[in-house]
Amino acid sequence: MNLQINPNVYSKKYAGTNTPYWLVKCQLPNPTPEDPGATKTYQKKHPTASQAELDKTRLMREYGGGSVSIEQLKEFELGLHRLQTCDGDARGKPPLTAIEWFIANYKDPSHTPLVEEAVKNFHAKHASNLRQKSREEYEVYLDRFIQHFGKTQVGGITTQILQEFVDAYPSPLHHRKCLLGLFAFCSGGSRKIQSPHKWIESNPASGVVVVEDKVDKEIVILTLEEVKAALAVALLIGDLPYWIWSLFTGMRPEETKKFWTLDGYGWDRVNLGGGYIIVNSEIAKDKRRRKTLIRPVLMEWLHYFRATGEPMFPTSHRKQFREIKRSAIADNKFLINDLLRHTYISNRVQHFDKSLATTAAESGNSEKIIKEHYLDLITDEASILEYWSLTPSCFGLTAPSPEMNEEQEAEAAA
């Protein structure tokens, strides 16, 4: 007989002993010739909730006209087992509670936008809330994500997919940070950006684990061939002064930006006659004043740039810098911070006095760091010698002759 029944399970306790039991109760069909629609009350006590749920399922199957198949029953039993044994707040919850929650919260992955569309929306909303540097950081890391998953729907991105993506590249912390921001936006959980849509229920990036090795973090540097290739590209598209300055002073990117953009700095703080550069505490990362020597190769370049008037930190630096790295260096080095600085320190400590103290003083670092991470990082002496010989003439450049005043012209004519 096909009758819609609705068995309920009640949690109760025996009087006197307080021993728990679970009661299954419902109205079952009990037709008679006089009353085909008559029913009777069914009640049965069970020592466990799982047994009560199984009894409920049996009743629905027997009196519901076979509405629950054998396969469905097996799935239900497996689901019930998962609820009884899982970790977290869902453990022990009744199946109906779990089903109701699923109905209210389930998001069909096929109804979510493509990742590339979500990233576009994210950038549009994010732009006004970020500094330029942070905005460019999100663009770099999320563009890489789009290359792999741009045509995947947002709802199809899982924590496992994100974990494997983050593990496959350098700078996992930066990758995770950008993915957390993107999927917080997609799930409506961002505190900074109000999303008009809640495409997914939760943030899959929140489960991504990054273990950073702070004890023995390997320093990565450019090879001599990469240095020469990068300088050649920089000569063609611009940003050559920045590369030369960073490779032969070892200044950090933010220090270089401040040195060449703050009032009172720039060429006013470059002592060509004395052969040194002063990095004051207000722009130094460690807030300690330091002096960097201008060695012959850098001296030639500085005279060249001074004569040509090329900007040492052009407004288009970041865009050009990325283009140069993409063209000239290995992919696994693209996102590494302070790459030029690491290259300078490694070549400096090997070529000159091998003094930990003077190298640390010039680079604004500690002797311990120099010894553990930079000393003997380069072993090819010929490569080191060539590095410190990369003058303008190596790239076919000569400094233009300075304009002469009237007195100098007269002396030259005589």
User: pLDDT digits over 368-390, tens only?
Assistant: 888 888 888 888 889 999 999 99
Average pLDDT of the residues in 355-362: 84
d(CA 76, CA 82): 10
| 374 vs 157, more confident | 157
Predicted confidence (pLDDT) per residue in 81-107, tens digit? 888 898 888 898 888 888 888 887 776
Res 411 pLDDT > 80 = no
d(CA 132, CA 92): 49
d(CA 28, CA 24): 12
Evaluate the CA torsion angle 334, 339, 340, 346 in order and state its sign: negative
Looking at the structure, tell me whether residues 197 and 120 fall in a common domain. yes
Res 214 pLDDT > 50 = no
- The DSSP 8-state label assigned to residue 203 in this structure reads -
Backbone φ and ψ for 69, nearest 5 degrees, come out as: -80, 170
Looking at the structure, tell me whether residues 248 and 329 fall in a common domain. yes
Q: Which of 293, 272, 271, 289 is nearest to 281 (CA)?
A: 289
Predicted confidence (pLDDT) per residue in 253-310, tens digit? 999 999 999 988 999 999 999 999 999 988 888 888 999 999 999 999 999 999 999 9
Looking at the structure, tell me whether residues 69 and 152 fall in a common domain. no
pLDDT value at residue 400: 64
pLDDT value at residue 297: 94
Helix, strand, coil % in the chain, rounded to nearest 5 = 55, 10, 35
Predicted confidence (pLDDT) per residue in 219-231, tens digit? 889 999 999 999 9
Q: What residue has token string 């670092």?
A: 365
Domain finish residue from 65, 87, 105 = 105
Looking at the structure, tell me whether residues 388 and 285 fall in a common domain. yes
Which of 190-194, 196-200, 356-360, 394-398 comes out lowest in average pLDDT? 190-194
The CB-side HSE value for 56 (13 A sphere, CA atoms) comes to: 23
Looking at the structure, tell me whether residues 236 and 157 fall in a common domain. no
Which residues 6+ apart lie within 8 Å of 199 measured at CB? 107, 112, 113, 118, 154, 155, 186, 187
**The pTM is what?**
0.53
What is the count of structural domains for the chain? 3
Geometric angle at alpha carbon 242, from 238 and 248, rounded to 5°: 135
Q: How many CB atoms lie within 10 A of CB 374?
A: 24
Q: What residue has token string 């006659």?
A: 273
Structural domain that includes position 381: 224-395
Domain finish residue from 87, 105, 123 = 105
pLDDT value at residue 360: 86
Residue 216 lies in a domain: no
Q: What residue has token string 């199984």?
A: 54
pLDDT value at residue 78: 87
Contacts of the segment 371-375: beta carbons below 8 A, 24+ positions apart: 373/217, 373/219, 374/219, 374/342, 374/345, 374/346, 374/349, 375/349, 375/350
Structure tokens belonging to residue 389? 């010989």
Cα 204 off chain centre by: 14
Are 52 and 23 a contacting pair, CB within 8 Å? yes
Compute the mean pLDDT over every residue in the chain, rounded to the nearest whole number: 85
Residue 218 lies in a domain: no
Are 277 and 255 a contacting pair, CB within 8 Å? no
The CB-side HSE value for 194 (13 A sphere, CA atoms) comes to: 1
Band the pLDDT of 353: cuts 50, 70, 90: low
Looking at the structure, tell me whether residues 242 and 373 fall in a common domain. yes
- CATH for 128: 1.10.150
Band the pLDDT of 171: cuts 50, 70, 90: confident
Cα 395 off chain centre by: 37
Band the pLDDT of 157: cuts 50, 70, 90: very high
Residue 88 lies in a domain: yes
Largest Cα span, the chain: 139
pLDDT value at residue 399: 66
pLDDT value at residue 412: 43
pLDDT value at residue 4: 62
Looking at the structure, tell me whether residues 237 and 324 fall in a common domain. yes
Instruction: Transcribe 44-68 into DSSP letters.
Output: EEESSHHHHHHHHHHHHHHHBTS-S
Looking at the structure, tell me whether residues 96 and 34 fall in a common domain. yes
d(CA 269, CA 343): 24
Share of the chain above pLDDT 90, in %: 44
- 209, with CB counted inside 10 A (0-12, 13-18, 19+), is exposed
d(CA 317, CA 308): 18
Residue 25 lies in a domain: yes
Predicted confidence (pLDDT) per residue in 7-63, tens digit? 888 999 999 899 999 999 999 988 899 998 899 999 999 999 889 988 888 888 777
Residue 404 lies in a domain: no
Looking at the structure, tell me whether residues 93 and 61 fall in a common domain. yes
Average pLDDT of the residues in 136-165: 91
Amino acid at 171: S
- The DSSP 8-state label assigned to residue 370 in this structure reads I
Give the ranges where 352-400 is alpha helix by DSSP (H): 356-363, 367-369, 381-387
Residue 287 lies in a domain: yes
Looking at the structure, tell me whether residues 64 and 90 fall in a common domain. yes
Residue 406 lies in a domain: no
Looking at the structure, tell me whether residues 247 and 322 fall in a common domain. yes
d(CA 175, CA 165): 9
Share of the chain above pLDDT 70, in %: 89
Helix (H) or strand (E) holding 278: strand 276-279
